[in-house]
Amino acid sequence: HTDETVLSDTQAMLNPVGSQASLSYRIATLQHKVFEDLKAGNLRWFEAVDLHGCTVEEARQAVLQIIQIAKDENQNVIKIVHGKGPEAILKTYVNGWLRQHHDVLAFVSAPEKQGGTGAVLVLLKRAEKNPKFKQ
């Protein structure tokens, strides 16, 4: 079963973000405290991916892949390092893609000591229906 999540680039193109801009997104139903914990860097991330030097296509695949790996491992926090080049292209795309992904509950720019506005911490839905984790 391959998860055919299609991430469109339209949102990114319509909403460029600055290299120093702080990203922040959450679904409406997410508990405030959980979001605050994510923002503060209190939730340990399981896996990180660094998109430096990636093309947009490579970055898209890397983002989909790390989300899938986290789901397979039943982990729910990942870190995506998109960098903050002058154009902030990957940052803009990551911001657009994550907002469309049905497994993403929230994401925020990382705390300063964890990469600041050059990285995002992403909170994912837990894969509770994952048969691998049946007790």
- Whether the CB-CB separation of 104 and 123 falls below 8 Å is answered with yes
- Whether the CB-CB separation of 103 and 124 falls below 8 Å is answered with yes
Helices (H), 4-135: 10-14, 32-40, 56-72, 89-100
10-126 under CATH 3.40.50.300, yes or no: no
- Whether the CB-CB separation of 90 and 50 falls below 8 Å is answered with no
DSSP-based helix, strand, coil % in the chain, nearest 5: 40, 20, 45
For the entire predicted model, the pTM comes to: 0.89
Which regions in the chain score pLDDT beneath 70?
A: 1-4, 128-135
What pLDDT digit, counting tens, does each position of 104-123 carry? 999 999 999 989 999 999 99
Q: What would the two tokens of residue 127 be?
A: 């894969």
Query: Domain locations in the chain?
Result: 10-126
